[in-house]
Amino acid sequence: MMTRLAPVSESAKTAPPTPVSAATQDGETPRLLVIDGHSMAFRAFYALPPENFATDTGQHTNAVHGFTSMLLTMIRQQKPTHVVVAFDLDTPTFRSLEYTEYKGGRNKTPEEFYGQIDLIIKVMAAMNIPTISVDGFEADDIIATLSVQGETAGWDVLVVSGDRDAFQLITDKVLVLYPKKGISDIPPMDAAAVEAKYFVPPNRYSDLAALVGETADNLPGVPGVGPKTAAKWINQYGGLEGILDNLDSIGGKVGESLRAHVDDVKRNRRLNHLLRDMELPVALDDMVLQAPDREAVEELFDALQFNTLRKRLFDLFGEEEEHDDGEGHQVPAHQLVTEAAALKKWLAAGKATLTAVDVLSEPLGLQREAVAVALVRADSAAVVELGTADEALDRQLGTWLAGDAPKVVHEYKEALKALAPRGHSLGGVVDDTSLSGYLIQPDRRSYDLPDLSQMHLKVTFAAAGTSDAGQLDLGLEGGARFADAVQRGYVALLLSEHFAPMLAERGAATLLAQLELPLAAVLAQMELTGIDVSQERLDALLADFTAAMNAAQAAAFDAIGHEVNLGSPKQLQEVLFEELGLPKTKKIKTGYTTDAASLKALLEKTGHEFLAQLMAHREASKLKQMVETLKKSVDADGRIHTTYAQNVAATGRLSSNNPNLQNIPIRSEEGRRVRDLFVVSDGYECLLAADYSQIEMRIMAHLSGDAGLIQAYAQGEDLHRYVGSHVFGVAPEEVTSAMRSKVKAMSYGLAYGLTSFGLSKQLEISVDEARTLVKDYFDRFGGVRDYLRGVVEQARIDGFTSTIEGRRRYLPDLTSTDRQLRDLAERVALNSPIQGSAADIIKHAMLGVAAELDKQGLKSRMLLQVHDELVLEIWPGERDAVQALVVAQMGAAADLLVPLEVQVGVGSSWNDAGH
């Protein structure tokens, strides 16, 4: 049985950026296509109805669609060898600085246009077409400079612009395409066309425009003077200079008018003169038309829902959507193996061949248990059912699975967990495509095999039961599931092959092999182990919190004289702001916030009993709900087995779910009672919690190399006290707790991209005060300022940030023209290296701890990870040894310029082990 997998593109895997046109190689004259981005985007916007072009998320795309369509047409018709797009920035230009009304009076940009320029820039990036914008200058200046550069190089230049100022650029070699309305295929303007229309040569067009004026730019001309009069004067006096030299000899009413407005004319001429000698960030040769970045186009056009455009694009660039080379990319037939000898034979046939392993599993309590294993190679596949396998077959399989034979898996950790109840392990895993996909692109929503396959291979296949492809074997028992598993394995194999060069290019191969893959095995063990919870405490706590919640609710109802759903922010707004007429809080989408901070402020202001009870209810119901969730998560073994997600947090952190054990309360007294639910198992001595002290600040000290911070840590000082003493210029012992908490907030804030505004809000001080605080801080710790500044700059250049282990996070929005997006990307750029490096470090520590426990033959075990904390369970008598090895491994997990300090506590519950 062969299942056809479609569609598959061979070219997607190769496709280096090669020039599409052979013109330059043939020695023909290069043709440069220069596009005025904003003006063409606007043309497209008004040519297509926005209501017909929008994504599911409501983003309008009519301008993007029209622009892209226009560009494709242009490339097809004009056959340029080089293409570039110039954009304006919305920053002031030398023109607007000279003449504040420049381009004033324009209608407000329609709301539907927002975001579309950014999308166009993304489309250009995906098409490998360079875009240029230069602070302080307009696209017109860039275009003029490019025209001159192209002409000087002996190239043909075609300028596409909706701005008539471009006419001054026309020469023998430079033509202008000026679309009249929307996007039409009118022929380019040459010198003759300009003269036919305006009666002046192109190099005099600016003179004419200065006299006539340009309403689009809010540049009034001479009243009564139109193109005809202007052209007559220009030709009579040989240009504007001649006219100005002979002002007095021009008669009639128009002559008077000219003399009255001569200053306007001079200003117009200064402003419509285009700079032709700018320094541009892109060289002509880098504008060569390349094949599009197929992956990026797929992703972007998927998001934009541009299906016909995608086809047009790939057609234009000669890339087939489908490619059948008659070999490979066909899921191999599989044999159902029922005897050890048959398996042995199959395994021996491809001893050192990379094999994909797909584990089929079924629920077992709240966990899963493997029921079959599919082994997939490029040309053959075998399936082994675990339930029916005899001992010999099971042993044969188990030995091979645990052995060194190179394997590819998708979701290694899940495979390990499902195999464990069968007594099987999995060794020799060289790739887990859910992890390699993550390292390549850490901010994706999903790393499902079908998603990755669609994205990277353009191969569509559906999960079991939903796909036609998976239905072929319904007649055979379990056959469809097996075929599906084989298909998954085959796709994982293809993906792994596809990813290998990408990982290498990003320097992520080591990260995968040395960190993430071994960590997956450690995490699998931690998840399998789980943590014991006290059923008695659980029930008692649930009762307590429920009672507290009910009491608070009753008291709240009493306070206002009627019932209300306290869990409904909407109903609460009614009560608070209309019924009780309390002062309005911070505005949110649905009205005014009722969050804890605002309720607290309201309570302090008004002292209303309802507020106090509402807050009590909030806390109790939150905790009750959390305890309920935990109770539901207790497995048959009386333990809670969380699941760690290794590919969710874009920074490299783990996340925890089902249930989340990384957000168990610790700050409030009541909350800590939840932490007390987690107890040491029978037979073990105690729980041990070890956490890094201020790891993010230490990483900041390391990455910035700031001498002050490094010294503070080297001396083992109280960091915030030390910083406070320097910022406030007092002796360390004179740092008040208010001063300390201010610098503490700021120190941490800096790692998150905090602004003066944000700091002022948090510390409840004025923005000026906050600004001074930041300045004083940076005056004392200049290394931090330089580092933070450099991180963003470097990320803008590279397109990504890196952690100390080289884990990357791509931030395309750093160059977005959307302020909000750009600012957010900058804050992310500040935080990601720090948060991500901390994640790298504790991951290394976990590997070290696991290896050392194993090496020393200890029975103690690792249970939990909470970002900067590890929780272990100590076997009787091993406490000192484990504490020593944990401190040693955590401390040695990275070689920083400052020491890594580890705090340890032990106790019979997680709360007791805290400190």
Partner DNA sequence: GCCCACACGTA
Partner DNA sequence: CGTACGTGTGGGCA
Q: How many CA atoms lie within 13 A of 69 on its CB side?
A: 19
Q: What are phi and psi of 28, to 5 degrees?
A: -75, 165
Query: Is residue 625 within the footprint of DNA (CB under 7 A)?
Result: yes
The stretch among 152-160, 501-509, 585-593, 795-803 that binds DNA (CB under 7 A) is 585-593
Query: Is residue 869 within the footprint of DNA (CB under 7 A)?
Result: yes
Q: Could you tell me the smallest distance in angstroms from the CB atom of residue 321 to DNA?
A: 28
Q: DSSP secondary structure string, 747-803?
A: HHHHTTT--HHHHHHHHT--HHHHHHHHHHHHHH-HHHHHHHHHHHHHHHHHSEEE-
Query: Is residue 665 within the footprint of DNA (CB under 7 A)?
Result: yes
Question: Three-state DSSP class for 586?
Answer: coil
Whether 483 and 473 have beta carbons less than 8 Å apart is answered as yes
**Cα–Cα distance measured from residue 739 to residue 712, given in angstroms and rounded to the nearest whole number:** 17
Query: Is residue 608 within the footprint of DNA (CB under 7 A)?
Result: no
Nearer to DNA, 369 or 813 (CB): 813
Query: Is residue 526 within the footprint of DNA (CB under 7 A)?
Result: no
Q: Among 663, 711, 736, 766, which residue sits at the site for DNA (rule: CB under 7 A)?
A: 663
Q: Could you tell me the smallest distance in angstroms from the CB atom of residue 756 to DNA?
A: 8
Query: Is residue 367 within the footprint of DNA (CB under 7 A)?
Result: no
Query: Is residue 570 within the footprint of DNA (CB under 7 A)?
Result: yes
Query: Is residue 55 within the footprint of DNA (CB under 7 A)?
Result: no
The stretch among 110-118, 218-226, 657-665, 885-893 that binds DNA (CB under 7 A) is 657-665
Query: Is residue 463 within the footprint of DNA (CB under 7 A)?
Result: no
- How many CB atoms within 10 Å of residue 568? 12
Q: Could you tell me the smallest distance in angstroms from the CB atom of residue 544 to DNA?
A: 16
The DSSP 8-state label assigned to residue 54 in this structure reads B
* Strand-pair category, 334-337 with 381-385: parallel
Binding mask 423-462 for DNA (x = CB under 7 A): --------------------x-------------------
Q: Could you tell me the smallest distance in angstroms from the CB atom of residue 590 to DNA?
A: 4
Query: Is residue 655 within the footprint of DNA (CB under 7 A)?
Result: yes
Query: Is residue 550 within the footprint of DNA (CB under 7 A)?
Result: no
Residues that bind DNA (rule: CB under 7 A) add up to a total of 63
Query: Is residue 568 within the footprint of DNA (CB under 7 A)?
Result: yes
Write 430-433 long-range contacts (CB < 8 A, 24+).
Answer: 430/354, 430/406, 430/513, 430/517, 431/496, 431/499, 431/500, 431/512, 431/517, 432/408, 432/512, 432/516, 432/517, 432/520, 433/408, 433/409, 433/492, 433/495, 433/496, 433/499
**Cα–Cα distance measured from residue 187 to residue 158, given in angstroms and rounded to the nearest whole number:** 11
Footprint on residues 794-833 left by DNA (CB under 7 A) = 823-824, 827-828, 831-832
The stretch among 44-52, 225-233, 652-660, 871-879 that binds DNA (CB under 7 A) is 652-660
Nearer to DNA, 266 or 632 (CB): 632
Q: Among 151, 868, 873, 878, which residue sits at the site for DNA (rule: CB under 7 A)?
A: 868
**Cα–Cα distance measured from residue 409 to residue 359, given in angstroms and rounded to the nearest whole number:** 9
Query: Is residue 29 within the footprint of DNA (CB under 7 A)?
Result: no
Query: Is residue 590 within the footprint of DNA (CB under 7 A)?
Result: yes
Whether 419 and 359 have beta carbons less than 8 Å apart is answered as yes
Q: Could you tell me the smallest distance in angstroms from the CB atom of residue 299 to DNA?
A: 18
Q: Could you tell me the smallest distance in angstroms from the CB atom of residue 651 to DNA?
A: 5
**Cα–Cα distance measured from residue 318 to residue 322, given in angstroms and rounded to the nearest whole number:** 11
For residue 196, what are the contacts with CB-CB under 8 A and spacing of at least 6?
none
Nearer to DNA, 409 or 870 (CB): 870
Query: Is residue 641 within the footprint of DNA (CB under 7 A)?
Result: no
The DSSP 8-state label assigned to residue 634 in this structure reads B
Nearer to DNA, 555 or 649 (CB): 649
**Cα–Cα distance measured from residue 892 to residue 871, given in angstroms and rounded to the nearest whole number:** 18
Nearer to DNA, 606 or 658 (CB): 658
Q: Could you tell me the smallest distance in angstroms from the CB atom of residue 470 to DNA?
A: 20
Whether 65 and 48 have beta carbons less than 8 Å apart is answered as yes
Nearer to DNA, 762 or 908 (CB): 762
Provide the residue type at 337 as one letter: V
Q: Could you tell me the smallest distance in angstroms from the CB atom of residue 660 to DNA?
A: 4
Nearer to DNA, 179 or 442 (CB): 442
For residue 569, what are the contacts with CB-CB under 8 A and spacing of at least 6?
590, 593, 594
Query: Is residue 856 within the footprint of DNA (CB under 7 A)?
Result: no
Q: Among 594, 694, 725, 860, which residue sits at the site for DNA (rule: CB under 7 A)?
A: 594
Nearer to DNA, 9 or 831 (CB): 831
* Strand-pair category, 678-679 with 869-874: unpaired
Whether 409 and 492 have beta carbons less than 8 Å apart is answered as yes
Binding mask 733-762 for DNA (x = CB under 7 A): ------------x--xx--xxxx-xx--xx
Whether 605 and 583 have beta carbons less than 8 Å apart is answered as yes
Helix (H) or strand (E) holding 259: helix 252-260
Q: Which of 221, 304, 287, 255 is nearest to 80 (CA)?
A: 287
Q: Could you tell me the smallest distance in angstroms from the CB atom of residue 829 to DNA?
A: 9
The residue ranges that bind DNA (CB under 7 A) are 443, 565, 567-571, 588-590, 593-597, 599, 618-619, 622, 625, 629, 645, 648-651, 653, 655-660, 662-668, 671, 745, 748-749, 752-755, 757-758, 761-762, 823-824, 827-828, 831-832, 835, 866-869
